[in-house]
Amino acid sequence: MFFRSKAPLRIGLAGGGTDVSPYCDRYGGAILNASINIFANVTLEPLETGEVILQSIDRQQREVLKAALQLETDSGLVLLKGVYNRIVRDFARKPLSCRVTTHVEAPLGSGLGTSSTLVVAIIGAFAEWLQLPLGEYDIAHLAYQVEREDLGMAGGRQDQYAATFGGFNFMEFYAHDKVIVNPLRIKQDYIHELEYNLLLYYTETSRLSHSIIETQQANIQQSQTKAIDATHKVKEQAFLMKEAILRGNLREIGKILDFGWQHKKAMAKNISTAHIDEIYQAAINAGADGGKISGAGGGGFMTFFCHGITRYQVIDALKMAGGRFQGFQFTSEGLVTWHC
């Protein structure tokens, strides 16, 4: 028997970083993101060997362990082990012999929420196997607990909810882990136009987001006025983006992206680099209205909004920058699980 799941990665369109504590606990955060047809895939096979076999196809890693109440998470495929430990502790309450195989269709550290999306997909596969009564909010919150609490990984909260719910969502984040997901009803014509106007560009560099996020958190904890004011502006960007998309004022999106990007760079050091700045300026010079880095920054994917037919000029301009463009479509579906 195979128990399978897939969860979509996401493009963050506005508000990135305002979902990170302690900012969202003190001031409330707001994010607008949309899921895309690039997925984290998981297959779970129950075993009777007393082993736990963990394997990541894209990372070319494999571990064979003895089924236990808790697996060590100090090295190796820690996300898989973290989910296993939480499922055993909270639900199974006994060792589970199984093989878990994962494949993520984008590089880890690319800024599209790969780690959190993978955690959601792994939880989904276990939930399908064990028939766990978990709703969308339950799965997203459990994924957040595994990453941020159990494994101690720095980061925000949007990715777990984007992967679980799917579609275009305006998300609000508050103290005590309170999250409100507001699905947006957007006209299909607007979605098609967004797909045409948005370019997803991979810089061919990955980054360790936790160091950037830890700096961002420290700036808020130390009440650094510049960083707090910048984060307020990035939150404002989420509200501007929501209104523009819902009303179909798509011509404004490039300006809103640029507004957010200029302020995001002031939230913490290393969000941008000299190479990223060069790519961004080359895209603007070629006709892009605005853009941003995906995720915490420092590398990974960049998103550019190109009105009219300027996308072709931007594509030509960035051919020599050492990266590549990634095709995508928006998807309305979040986490999906099944068995066969």
Catalytic residues: 159
Six-digit token pair at 200? 């997803």
Check: CB of residue 154 under 8 Å from CB of residue 215: no
For 216, the 3-state DSSP assignment is helix
Q: CA-to-CA distance for 217 and 230, rounded, in angstroms?
A: 13
3-state helix, strand, coil in the chain (%, to 5): 40, 25, 35
Residues whose CB is less than 8 angstroms from the CB of residue 275 and which lie 6 or more positions away in sequence, other chains included: 203, 205
CA dist 133 and 238 (Å) reads 33
Q: Token pair of 291, please? A: 């853009």
338 touches 313 (CB < 8 A): no
What are residue 180's DSSP bridge partners?
A: 172
Three-class secondary structure of residue 199 per DSSP: strand
Q: Which helix (H) or strand (E) holds 10?
A: strand 3-14
Secondary structure (DSSP) of 218-267: HHHHTT-HHHHHHHHHHHHHHHHHHHHHHHT-GGGHHHHHHHHHHHHTTT
Report the SS3 class of residue 65. Answer: strand
CA distance 212 to 2: 38
Helices 158-165/114-130 angle, 10° precision: 50
CA neighbor of 104 nearest in space, from 68, 162, 58: 58
Rounded Cα gap, residues 55 and 77, in angstroms: 8
Neighbours of 163 (CB within 10 A): 31
